[in-house]
Amino acid sequence: MSQHCIFCRIARKEVPSQLVHEDEQCVVIQDINPQAPTHWLIFPKQHLERLHDLSEAGRPLLGHLLLTARSMAERAGVAQGGYRVVINNGDDGGQTVPHLHLHLLGGRAMHWPPG
């Protein structure tokens, strides 16, 4: 847990959010600035800045986050039509919140390459 991290504060319910799902390991919220009809954020309760803070021991957590994205796509009703799961990492990756999170985007056709 990081005292000032916005996602840690959301996980602790110190900051309000549109909570979609919560379990022992992770939280799912609606993005405050949605880029698609469905734009949800999946993040671990444990404060990890980015993918590079995980090693082999993080394998079960990463599996859990990805499978949560899968089930959230079902819940959002975008599984059939298709969706995108994104992890922005570090400055060049476009990461703005330094707490590891997956973006689940769906409900419209995505473009490639991303900007």
Strand-by-strand arrangement of the 19-22 sheet = 19-22, 26-30, 38-44, 102-106, 83-86
In the list ligand 5GP, Zn ion, none, the entry touching 80 (Cβ below 5 to 8 angstroms by class) is none
Nearer of residues 56 and 95 to ligand 5GP, judged by Cβ: 95
Minimum CB–partner distance for residue 41 and ligand 5GP (Å) = 6
The three-class DSSP label of residue 102 is strand
101 is catalytic: yes
Using CB under 5 A, list all residues that contact Zn ion. 2, 5, 7-8, 47, 99
